[in-house]
Amino acid sequence: MPSPVSADHPAAQPPGRGSVEALITQARRLKGEVDAVRRDTRSDGSDPEERWQRALCDLALHQLDDLDAHLAQLRDGPPPAPAQTDAPPPGRPRTAGTPDGALLSRVGSAEWNLLTDEATWSGELYQILGLDPARPALTLDELPSLVLDEDRPRLTSMVTGCLVDARPIDGEFRVVRPDGAPRTVHMMGEPVLGADGGTASMWAVLRDVSELRSSQRTVRETRDSLTRHRRQEQTEHRIAAELQEAVLPPWRGSLRLPHRGPVALDLAAHRLPAATATLIGGDWYDALELPDGQTLLTVGDLTGQGVAVASGRAMLLGAVRGMAMAGTEPGELLTLLDRLLDSTVQPALGSAVCCRYRPESRTLVWAQAGHPAPLLYRDGTGRMLNTPDGVLLGACPGAVRGQSVVTLRPGDLLLLHTDGLVPGHSRTAAVDRLLGLAPRFGAARTAQDCVRTLVEEFGGAGREDDACVIVARVTA
């Protein structure tokens, strides 16, 4: 029904039909664009950010649907009031003219005459509140009977402010319909002043905003879930980074072996991080002087990323150091490491190379578990060492790993690396690229210079994964 106008407010002139049509066209075009974005936001429910994006799209579409229908009402003017006999009784499906959930069925109006204590409701308001339109409309004293107990003071305050202080009404409250369905209603209204300046009646427009508020709650919940997820990711990344810094050796350049005579190996190592700083993998490297004067060299990689992988790497690297200090040979060491990995709460797959360098004979004893073999550079050329048998760690618990022995010469250079050092290349192609660096390695003065060459070649912004390298040059 038309909204009454207060005695002290002139009636507003309706907008031009052409300008409203233009707004309707813009609203519908925007709806189409938002719907296209929504379709592109495919979510299976597992990604918090995708859930939040889809909830925002749903909310935007809901509001644009309402905007479209409001503008259509503005263009067409108020509909004629239907006879009460045409209104469907409670529980009977509505006709196709006003589908359930359409805007017209969610917006109703009412007027309460304070002089006669009469109430007049539109048919849509009966539908919103689930009441029989054949029954008299509820008075202002009876309306709170439908409102939830905790929302009644809010409704009372709004109505009192309107009737006593002539303040406009603009607020929400929740009702429970006779069928038990809860609804959220937004109420806007004004007092209608009589000739004497007193309040003669009050009119209001009531809108069922239940679906809108539900969409908004979904947006808030998905946003909060996304925030918690990102905080958890940040915490896990920080812990993984701290574990990585604590586990990987801090040394750079030459590793001098104290109290063992002349320096036998010039050592340098480096970790090439992934381009995405949040991805911390399970790559490791280590070099350690052993009690018998030999040197441990090892690189390896656990599959996966994050805190669990970082903690698993710390455990394995600690085990490698302990067994090497106890004199365990590389082949047996990797076999025992395999059993340790299999006994953990979260078994994983990994690969590793383990070497013991004996400076007195310049021999390298080494074994591998599904890992790229060390590369040997000599006299300006390079080759891959003959690989002993060895399957991935965690793939076949108890499998025995073979060992190889190679005799080195002064000036020889060894390169140990993890998978992914050369981005975008297969293992074979990566080895070819690395062997192609032999002339540059031959011209390098130190192991650290060789590491710099590797970083220049393969440390660019396109890296998808971490990688570790150790360069060892035989000096004596």
Residue-wise pLDDT for 231-245, tens only, equals 877 776 676 666 666
Q: What is the mean pLDDT of residues 326-333?
A: 94
Q: What is the mean pLDDT of residues 113-136?
A: 92
Strand 182-193 and strand 363-369: pairing? unpaired
Does the pLDDT value for residue 363 go beyond 80? yes
Does the pLDDT value for residue 87 go beyond 50? no
Report the C-alpha gap between 248 and 459 in whole angstroms: 18
9-23, 26-40, 444-458: range with highest mean pLDDT:
444-458
Q: Which residue has the higher pLDDT, 415 or 307?
A: 415
Give residue 230's pLDDT: 81
Question: Which of 225-234, 246-255, 402-411, 433-442 is predicted with the least confidence, judged by mean pLDDT?
Answer: 246-255
At 303, is the pLDDT very low, low, confident or very high (cuts 50, 70, 90)? confident
Q: What is the mean pLDDT of residues 421-440?
A: 90
Report the C-alpha gap between 154 and 173 in whole angstroms: 7
